[in-house]
Amino acid sequence: MSVSVYVLNMRGKPLMPTTPQKARKLIKNEKAKVMQRTPFVIQLKHATGETTEPIVLGLDSGYQFAGFSASTEKKELISGELELRKDISKNLTQKRQYRRTRRNKLWYRKPRFNNRVSTMKKGWFAPSINHKLDSHKKLIREIKQILPITKVIVEVATFDAHKMKKPEITGVEYQQGELQGYEVKEYLLEKWKRKCVYCKKTGLKLEVEHIIPKSRGGSNRVDNLTISCRKCNLKKGNKTAEEFGHPRIQEQAKQFLKATPFMNVVRTHLVTDLGCDTTYGYVTKHDRIKLGLKKTHFNDAFVIAGGRKQKRSKVLQVKQIRRNKRSIQTNRKGYKPSIRRQRYKLQPHDLVESKGELFSVKGVFNYGTWVRLSPIEKPVDPETGKAITINKAMNKVELVKYGKGLKFSY
């Protein structure tokens, strides 16, 4: 796997990436300066040509994880996996509790019912979904700042729900072509959570199974199909699911799998706002299996971007972190209510340097005079398996980089 160094021109516009060896020479000869560490980005100090190649960015959108990959016809330039935040809903619930507690302490306040119309606004959706949508947009913007992307393709869903409801709208190419059966099976795997409906085991090779056998009048409609392992399928034989001891499966199969709100948002907002092309998961799965790649988000993104036999790049791990926490009022019995209004110089996840060694900030204590750090090179003790933390005075460390919302690492 290769590692690319991303290049910006004098005006800050992205150019085609270069090799680490060439970037090292440019920095040594003072023809370029370092702009970012991970991923490594340099900016040229002299005028140069701006010839670029077509670069396709593939995005495997998801609710908890998102894969990304950008490739030319010969080489993959960047790839990685983004881990999204999962605490938005929890924080909103906590915020509501603090607000209600604060309002209940008021002796009297007039009821306000006329200002609660936010959900009636056109295009409104839940804050947690809005946050995930913005996170995907931010990821695309970050990549476009270091690479001259010419086309973006987004996987909006695992399967096409419209085709699942009305299969007759598809043509002969879908019904009898190379993708025959892929969409139906992917839908069933998603609906039954990728485990055998009879023995509940996971990690097995699963196959499509008829709840009411075809020999007894069962149809090929999705409400008569489920997923089971080979052993249970043979054991069930010519019985119905109810006769086999699973009467609820018939009722569960009739309930159509509702697409997550996130996928609806991606379909209607991410694609339309950014003008992206779209694809579906069953197409990605077919192409990935054909190439012999493992099931990962960055491999899916590589296939979405049109990847075939290009030279792969080193995988980036991107984590979305909460940059700032709310300064919540502290109410202790016997004390006056207090609010911490001071913002300290360093915040969690900032990158600092001390005596030539890099550290990640864990937190600040003793009224901002001391900082707790974690080494970048060896954050975990190999003998005990516990995280290593070091305490240093604030004036003994130097800020290298603020910990932004998206934290990149190899």
- pLDDT-derived band of residue 119, with 50, 70 and 90 as boundaries? low
Does some domain include residue 377? yes
* Number of domain units in the chain: 2
Calculate the alpha carbon distances from 133 to 146, 238, 403 in Å: 21, 47, 21
What pLDDT was estimated at residue 274? 85
pLDDT at 264 over 70: no
What pLDDT was estimated at residue 392? 94
Does some domain include residue 265? no
What pLDDT was estimated at residue 398? 93
The tokens describing 149, both together, are 């992307």
What pLDDT was estimated at residue 169? 36
pLDDT at 353 over 70: yes
- pLDDT-derived band of residue 368, with 50, 70 and 90 as boundaries? confident
Q: Which of 51-55, 77-81, 121-125 has the highest mean predicted lDDT (pLDDT)?
A: 77-81
pLDDT at 177 over 50: no
What pLDDT was estimated at residue 117? 57
Instruction: Give the domain range for residue 372.
Output: 324-404
- pLDDT-derived band of residue 327, with 50, 70 and 90 as boundaries? low
Strands in 190-236 per DSSP E: 206-210, 225-229
Does some domain include residue 76? no
Q: How far apart are CA 23 and CA 5, in angstroms?
A: 7
Does some domain include residue 352? yes
pTM exceeds 0.75 for this model? no
Mean pLDDT of all residues in 279-291: 87
What pLDDT was estimated at residue 160? 55
Mean pLDDT of all residues in 219-233: 85
CATH number at 394 reads 2.30.30.30
Does some domain include residue 183? no
Does some domain include residue 214? no
- pLDDT-derived band of residue 168, with 50, 70 and 90 as boundaries? very low
Does some domain include residue 374? yes
Does some domain include residue 100? no
Q: What percent of the chain clears pLDDT 90, i.e. is strictly above it?
A: 30
pLDDT at 149 over 50: yes
What pLDDT was estimated at residue 205? 86
Calculate the alpha carbon distances from 153 to 67, 113, 223, 243, 410 in Å: 12, 43, 31, 46, 24
- pLDDT-derived band of residue 187, with 50, 70 and 90 as boundaries? confident
Contact 155, 284 (CB under 8 A): yes
Mean pLDDT of all residues in 320-331: 71
The predicted-structure confidence for 379-389, as pLDDT tens digits, reads as follows 888 888 888 89
Q: What b/e sequence results for 237-262 when a residue is b if at least 16 CB atoms lie within 10 Å of its CB, and e otherwise?
A: eeebbeebebeebbeebeeeeebeeb
What pLDDT was estimated at residue 172? 39
Contact 303, 312 (CB under 8 A): no
pLDDT at 21 over 90: yes
What pLDDT was estimated at residue 109? 65
Please tell me what DSSP assigns to residue 308: S
- pLDDT-derived band of residue 265, with 50, 70 and 90 as boundaries? low
Mean pLDDT of all residues in 297-312: 92
Contact 295, 62 (CB under 8 A): no
pLDDT at 180 over 60: no
What pLDDT was estimated at residue 373? 94
The tokens describing 373, both together, are 């750090």
DSSP, collapsed to helix, strand or coil, labels residue 80 as strand
